[in-house]
Structure 1
Amino acid sequence: MKKAYHILSIALLSGFFLVVACENGLEEETFSVYDENVLTKPEHAEQAVRGVYAALKDNGGFGYYAGYLYWLYEYPADVVTTTPTARQGVQIDQLTYDASNSVINNVWTSVFRLISRANEAEELISNVNYIGNASSVTVQNQNLGEVRFLRALGYYDATSLWGDVPLLLKSSSKFTEADENPALVDQAEVEKAMIADLQFAESNLPASYPPAEIARATSGTAKALLVRLYMRRGEWQKAADKALEVMNKNYDLRTTAEGGVVSLYNTSNRSDNEFIFVLKSSNEAGAYGVNSNSFGINSVPWDYNRGWGSFPIHLQFYSAFEKTDARRDLLTGIFKTLYGQVISVPKQYGGLGGAAPDTVAATYIYNLKYPHVNNYNYAGFNNVTILRYADVLMMRAEALNELNGPNQESITLVNQIRTRSKLSELTLGSFTTKAALRDKIFEERGREFFMEGRRRDDLIRWGKSASNGATPLLKFKEKVLPTLRSAATYSDNVDYTVYPYPQNEIQSNTSMDASVNAGRVK
């Protein structure tokens, strides 16, 4: 018997669940060791919830939100690039990927592993008698809200990356034969299920947790993800209204007096009120989160602090910042290497430059949002931002502009971000058209959210808005084409708003065949 990792049949949940698909010819069966007669206590449900959170890092601290997801969200866009030796990354960066790309396969696996764990946990939690075990329905609904939020987050990523995807909202014990090889479901239908999950979560999750549990989803977390989803759908009024609800949840920006935007990402800043939801990595006793991730070591090059340099950034991006912009300090504009040389951004890109032999011109810059402080250590304890209050402010500003054109509230919201970074305030009179303010907002988003997994989605949404939905890739092409090593790589016949479905899934799911990738690859 050959073991086949049919991802839509995998659930590994805190040691409680194990679902393995076996393949024998064309026959496939799913087995589960989940025993509802044993897992009957609220503490079992709590462990199940933790198991779903743990799926956010996946693959030993390198997968999903601990690394691979950002390859798909950042590499194809115009800010982050990759080194020529990273073959799978180069394919994504240069738009030459196909269905066999290992990162595309890995992220699909990670996303649906999280969804599968959430489904298993939902059933376990629903079957536990909380009241009879000295707990309450309130706690039960909180646990359900957490796993339903996480399931919605998984489906948000799945639909952002692939559009139509299989929709499974039940545990493996309830699978029918059709569920073993699920068909693709229209993205709009998947989004309806996501909205239902998030609305349940916002109604049943608490506003906050104790400091050690800061990484758990709150009602504000669910609302913020709803804002992001409404923005993607172009439902501007819903997005603006929901963003306002988040703004009334007592979040705030880290102020200049507190150290400003640069200090926001310091490893000692574990639970800032600007973080709405993070992948929290911590070695603190009892911390509610995963123990490590690889973001720090991936974010800087070897000669900076023995990093892997997986996320280099184009030099042109450095020149997009005003010299007084505090966010520029989150990039390696100039630094002394381990070997005593100084690497500096050339003057033509806004850097200080310098003369050889003591100074070497930078080929790339790197982000410092995930500081690597552990030399020769594959793991670090960086928080990885998933939802941030600054993003909510910018989304409301964008939504109000789409509804009303240039308006003072949008300007005021953007100015909160700018003044925190020591920049001058914008004025309403400088923007006479919706398009002009839209462009400014997206330019500001690029400088604020680099290496936070937002740029690809932003370019697609920008294109949709600028073309009234007619040409979603309008801005993607405009910004990305000049960064490609060969302009011939870009094809107008490929829909870069979605990735190809992974070859592994096509081979194991009889509801899919190679035709599903028509128009998704050259």
Structure 2
Amino acid sequence: MNKILTALYACSLLTLGACKKDFLNTVPADKVSDENFWKTEKDANAGVSAVYNDLQNNDVFGLYVYNDGLTPSAYIWDDGGTGFGPVAKGNMNAFTSSVANKFKALYNGIYRANLALEKLPGVSMTAATNHRLVAEVTFLRALYYYQLTDFYGDVPLITKTLKLGDPLPGKETRANLLAFIIKEAGAAADSLPKSYAAALVGHATQGAALTLKAKAQLMAKQYADAAATCQAISGLGYDLYTDYRNMFISTAAENNVEVIFDVQYIAPGLNQGSLLDKRLSTRSSFSSGWSNVYASVNLVNNYEMKNGKAITESGSGYDPANPYNNRDPRLDYTIVRPGASWKGIPYEKLRLDNAATFTGYLTRKYVLEVDGFGAGDSPLNFIIFRYADVLLMLAEAQNEAVGPDATVYTAINKVRARKGVEMPEIPAGKSKEEMRNIIRHERMIEFAMEGTYYSDIRRWGIATQLMNGLVVTNIAGQQIDKINFVDAFNLWPLPQVELDLNSNLVQNPNYAK
């Protein structure tokens, strides 16, 4: 499959280095090319798999949880060579490797999607299968564009494969990109099934396309439309999974009733495993992990008491001598803290030296608690969309559109009432602004160490307020870093290599040329 994908990606470059016209027109009989591929249904499925393949890329969703290290929720000390360090510390520029790699990876997915959409209509298969595959690819292309505009703002909108010598387009506005995504996601939803048989689990569904549509509507501040889309998703049969902890650490919990769309991994031994387990698990002698991203003291302090009160609130019952007693259960489902254990090993033994954790906390989500898997060999799927996100998007959109009505309370309280979490309901009588802050806090907690909070705080326009001058401490209160975040960082810069190649591109504001 890797050879096929490489050949597909390279097919437009096959003429490079040729010196005779008849040679250029020769179809290689022993190699995969546009001329001898995209003939059968098997070819079509392989080509569509290539579009899905980019979801696993480290710079797309492979290491998406690293985004929490760009927020007050987590800290990146060692980025493991990913290039996230400069972004986290406030040293991002057009030459930062993660900036260039994400841009390239997303457009690679778009190139493959455009190629598939051009070739699928000519492939011999049933009309129903062709229709579904086109809808899947349409969704994936829209998803890649959503990631691009989320991180970079205005970017080129390319909807066909470009040949050598074709003019390179300039930037399209975020507003137009979001309109494109909303339209494409909606069209995909109309043609995708609600679910699949076991053999096709992991393929895009109607719910996945509608969730993407809702996210784009929310970013576009089309609040009433976003709420309506979320209501439509709520009628598709999704529900909250009853085991929050195991949803992220057990293969037995994969593809459950809450999962709307995820990145599928297979391991061990097939070279299709996830890197997250290796990169997030402890560095201690009990594990060969790299512990690249640490939950922050700020995040831990934001978990409420079991009675729903903040730890700083009068009557909360918070005891500084026993700080983890009677807290929101999601704390222990997400983080390994003093007094807890991992794989049955007490925290105190895990933390043998400072390399084990700089903040004093270790990550539990997406870290297997079974043995037998090596680096890049975790079978755990990474969840991109889940139903809790839809409920909290519904609460946010409805609150912004009409204020905190019964729909808002029902949605947020359902998330808090999940079996095993069972946090108190939000008291009635909240103002729109009060509810807005409650919803934002709930998203921080519910999706902690999943990577989504970074997009949230930039979408809400509060990233600079939260991040600039943020002092990162450890459990003992000692400062370990101070973050620089300027307004320009709400958008990543366009990679310098792209600016050099395309004179029609203009750098994002306030980045040095």
TM over 0.5: yes
**Which deviates more from structure 2 when the two are superposed, residues 155-164 or residues 295-304?**
295-304
Q: Which amino acid aligns with 1:293?
A: S
* Shift in CA distance, 252/480, structure 1 to aligned 2, threshold 3 Å: farther
Task: Give, in whole Å, the separation in 1 of the partners of 2:485 and 2:186.
Answer: 39
Partner of 1:369: 365
Partner of 1:296: 277
Q: Which amino acid aligns with 1:18?
A: A
Task: Give, in whole Å, the separation in 2 of the partners of 1:479 and 1:408.
Answer: 33
Task: Give, in whole Å, the separation in 1 of the partners of 2:45 and 2:443.
Answer: 37
Task: Give, in whole Å, the separation in 2 of the partners of 1:476 and 1:415.
Answer: 29
Counterpart of 1:113 in 2: which secondary structure? helix
Would you say the 8 A contact 1:77–1:476 is kept in 2? no
Partner of 1:177: 166
Larger relative contact order (CA 8 Å, sep ≥ 6): 2
**Alignment identity in percent?**
24
Question: Which of the numbers 98, 109, 113 marks the counterpart of 2:93?
Answer: 98
Partner of 1:48: 47
Counterpart of 2:383 in 1: which secondary structure? strand
Task: Give, in whole Å, the separation in 2 of the partners of 1:19 and 1:364.
Answer: 50
Task: Give, in whole Å, the separation in 2 of the partners of 1:101 and 1:451.
Answer: 23
Would you say the 8 A contact 1:14–1:48 is kept in 2? no
Q: Which amino acid aligns with 2:224?
A: Q
* Shift in CA distance, 501/38, structure 1 to aligned 2, threshold 3 Å: closer
Would you say the 8 A contact 1:294–1:378 is kept in 2? yes
Task: Give, in whole Å, the separation in 2 of the partners of 1:342 and 1:369.
Answer: 16
Partner of 1:452: 450
Task: Give, in whole Å, the separation in 2 of the partners of 1:339 and 1:447.
Answer: 25
Q: Which amino acid aligns with 2:331?
A: R
Question: Which of the numbers 506, 510, 513 marks the counterpart of 1:519?
Answer: 510
User: Following TM superposition, by how much is the alpha carbon of 1:428 offset from its aligned partner in structure 2, in angstroms?
Assistant: 1.5
* TM-score where L is the length of structure 1: 0.80
Task: Give, in whole Å, the separation in 2 of the partners of 1:210 and 1:220.
Answer: 15
* Shift in CA distance, 325/13, structure 1 to aligned 2, threshold 3 Å: same
Partner of 2:381: 383
Q: Which amino acid aligns with 1:145?
A: A
User: Following TM superposition, by how much is the alpha carbon of 1:451 offset from its aligned partner in structure 2, in angstroms?
Assistant: 2.1
Task: Give, in whole Å, the separation in 2 of the partners of 1:408 and 1:305.
Answer: 47
Would you say the 8 A contact 2:337–2:347 is kept in 1? no
Counterpart of 2:252 in 1: which secondary structure? coil
Partner of 1:4: none
Task: Give, in whole Å, the separation in 2 of the partners of 1:85 and 1:66.
Answer: 14
Gaps of 5+ in 1: 1-10, 25-29, 346-353, 463-471
Q: Which amino acid aligns with 2:491?
A: V
Would you say the 8 A contact 1:394–1:445 is kept in 2? yes
* Shift in CA distance, 93/147, structure 1 to aligned 2, threshold 3 Å: same
Q: Which amino acid aligns with 1:445?
A: R
Question: Which of the numbers 324, 328, 332 marks the counterpart of 1:325?
Answer: 328
Task: Give, in whole Å, the separation in 2 of the partners of 1:215 and 1:151.
Answer: 16
Cα RMSD, aligned residues only: 3.2
User: Following TM superposition, by how much is the alpha carbon of 1:366 offset from its aligned partner in structure 2, in angstroms?
Assistant: 2.8
Counterpart of 1:184 in 2: which secondary structure? coil
* TM-score where L is the length of structure 2: 0.81
- Pairing 1:477–2:465 present: yes
Counterpart of 1:261 in 2: which secondary structure? coil
Q: Which amino acid aligns with 1:319?
A: N
Q: How does 1:189-268 map to 2 (within 5 A)?
A: 189-255=176-242, 260-265=243-248, 266-268=250-252
* Shift in CA distance, 440/337, structure 1 to aligned 2, threshold 3 Å: closer
Q: Which amino acid aligns with 1:407?
A: D
Partner of 1:75: 69
Would you say the 8 A contact 1:70–1:453 is kept in 2? yes
* Shift in CA distance, 191/17, structure 1 to aligned 2, threshold 3 Å: same
User: Following TM superposition, by how much is the alpha carbon of 1:333 offset from its aligned partner in structure 2, in angstroms?
Assistant: 1.4
Q: Which amino acid aligns with 1:370?
A: Y
User: Following TM superposition, by how much is the alpha carbon of 1:245 offset from its aligned partner in structure 2, in angstroms?
Assistant: 0.6
Would you say the 8 A contact 1:97–1:521 is kept in 2? no
Partner of 2:155: 165
Counterpart of 1:301 in 2: which secondary structure? coil
Task: Give, in whole Å, the separation in 1 of the partners of 2:191 and 2:89.
Answer: 43
* Shift in CA distance, 200/311, structure 1 to aligned 2, threshold 3 Å: same
Q: Which amino acid aligns with 1:164?
A: D
Task: Give, in whole Å, the separation in 1 of the partners of 2:35 and 2:184.
Answer: 23
Q: Which amino acid aligns with 2:282?
A: P
User: Following TM superposition, by how much is the alpha carbon of 1:47 offset from its aligned partner in structure 2, in angstroms?
Assistant: 1.1
Q: Which amino acid aligns with 1:42?
A: E
Question: Which of the numbers 340, 348, 371 marks the counterpart of 1:343?
Answer: 348
User: Following TM superposition, by how much is the alpha carbon of 1:90 offset from its aligned partner in structure 2, in angstroms?
Assistant: 2.5
Question: Which of the numbers 18, 25, 39 marks the counterpart of 2:10?
Answer: 18
Question: Which of the numbers 79, 102, 107 marks the counterpart of 2:102?
Answer: 107
Task: Give, in whole Å, the separation in 2 of the partners of 1:70 and 1:111.
Answer: 17
Partner of 1:280: 264
- Pairing 1:507–2:471 present: no
Question: Which of the numbers 141, 158, 172 marks the counterpart of 1:151?
Answer: 141
Task: Give, in whole Å, the separation in 2 of the partners of 1:41 and 1:312.
Answer: 48
